[in-house]
Amino acid sequence: MRADAQKNRQRLIDVAVELVLEVGGEPARDAIAQRAGVGIGTLYRHFPDQQSLLHAATRHVLEKSISAGEVLIGTVPDGADALRQYMHLALDNGIGAVNILHPLLEKPDWPDLRVRAARLMKSLVGRAVRGGALRDDLSERDIVFGLTRFARPLAVGLPPDEERSLAHRHLDFYLDGLRAQSPGPQKPLLPDSR
Amino acid sequence: MRADAQKNRQRLIDVAVELVLEVGGEPARDAIAQRAGVGIGTLYRHFPDQQSLLHAATRHVLEKSISAGEVLIGTVPDGADALRQYMHLALDNGIGAVNILHPLLEKPDWPDLRVRAARLMKSLVGRAVRGGALRDDLSERDIVFGLTRFARPLAVGLPPDEERSLAHRHLDFYLDGLRAQSPGPQKPLLPDSR
DNA sequence: CCATAATCGGAGGATATTCCTCCGTTTGAT
DNA sequence: ATCAAACGGAGGAATATCCTCCGATTATGG
């Protein structure tokens, strides 16, 4: 594959992730090509149909996040710390795009990644809980859910980098709230409020 | 105004909020009318252009949330508790729709609501912080930002009510993390990770 | 430096989506 | 019972998105 073709292909994937996060759904193909600075024809040559681009984008983000997480497992001894670092990394890697894209994919089945992701999450959460640094009623699904709350820019009318740093700051607040010794709500909520 | 007209008008507003939250942006007019169970003509009679409907929907949610909050101020003596109850209420009132719609409105200016909202937030946050139940580096903007993280259904592939109860549960976790005595991150984050 | 196969760009017609007017029919209020 | 008010939705206009096609451009091996 020619060098420029390779570069364009990757650029298209990166832009796709970017736009998915901005739009909160499938971005228009024309918009992707334009932002990537390539002709629309180039996009269609690399990704003949929408699915193939979305698949590639999802895989790319997943692969990056999982790999980074696996490094953390072997690098950061403290369980709670490893989990926190992972969540911040995933956030910066655009993990929110995966949440948006997954339901839109026709057959999103990557046995290899699924196994690695499951193993990774189990290990991260398990170590953090066993270390007593996380409440013990948390499942992997809880962590994934929590991550999705911060992993995606929402319309708040802030400049992107300001919003990004706020997200990291509040993700830390949230993680504090997941700690085992956390006091929990002071009073039960009003029963009729939910 | 005829009774049926009144009812249809309100129903359109409610459906608009619903769809805004589901779609994460401006829903199609046809879709609103269809879900509301009225003809497309009825929608256009009540709201001749898109803006007027979005304005009405935004105002409606804001008004409901602010009023509920003002009641809490006079009802719930404990500051942290009032704040928490307010956030849960706002969530159920569809406050997320306001975040999505606000940047799309042409001149979203309601001096009355702005004043009331500012006063309300200042009071809720102030009382909670002064009571020592919230870290003191939190501004009203922080609270609003935090609320937006939970106030909107994201694509996670869960049934709506399950997602809703998860959101409430994790909002409580998050609020625990905002408490003054919260231990904070155990170790600083990797400097190069952000 | 040349030859050439690979790659690129984007005009523009085909499709799909969304908009919104118009008018015959139905309904609520007196 | 009357009728002004409100309703429904067909369907043409306007817009957005898709995606093919081919002449121009560029990377690469010799």
Per-residue pLDDT reduced to its tens digit, B99-158: 999 989 988 889 999 999 999 999 999 999 998 889 989 999 999 999 999 997 766 677
Chain D bases near protein CB atoms (7 A cut-off): 5-11, 16-22, 26-28
Domain ranges of chain B: 3-177
> How much is the pLDDT for B188?
44
| pLDDT tens per residue across span B66-85 | 999 999 999 999 999 999 99
Report d(CA A78, CA B187) in Å as an integer: 10
Q: Which residue is nearest to nucleotide C23 (CA to C1')?
A: B41
Please measure the distance between the N-terminal and C-terminal CA atoms of chain A and give it in whole angstroms: 57
Does the reported pTM lie above 0.75? Answer: yes
Average pLDDT over residues A162-184: 86
Report d(CA A177, CA A187) in Å as an integer: 16
- Cβ within 8 Å, pair B189-A133: no
Q: Say whether B6 sits in a helix, a strand or coil.
A: helix
- A159 Cβ under 8 Å from any chain B Cβ: no
CATH number belonging to domain A3-177: 1.10.357.10
pLDDT grade, residue A1 (50/70/90)? confident
Q: Which of B81, B148, B155 sits opposite A154 (nearest CB)?
A: B148
Residues whose CB is below 7 A of strand D: A 2-4, 26, 28-31, 40-41, 44, 48-50; B 1-2, 4-5, 8, 37-42, 44-46
CA A75 to chain centre: 21
pLDDT at position B189 over 90 = no
| pLDDT tens per residue across span A91-126 | 999 999 999 999 899 888 899 999 999 999 999 999
Q: Which residue is nearest to nucleotide C5 (CA to C1')?
A: A2
- B137 Cβ under 8 Å from any chain A Cβ: no
Q: To the nearest whole percent, how much of chain B has pLDDT over 70? A: 90
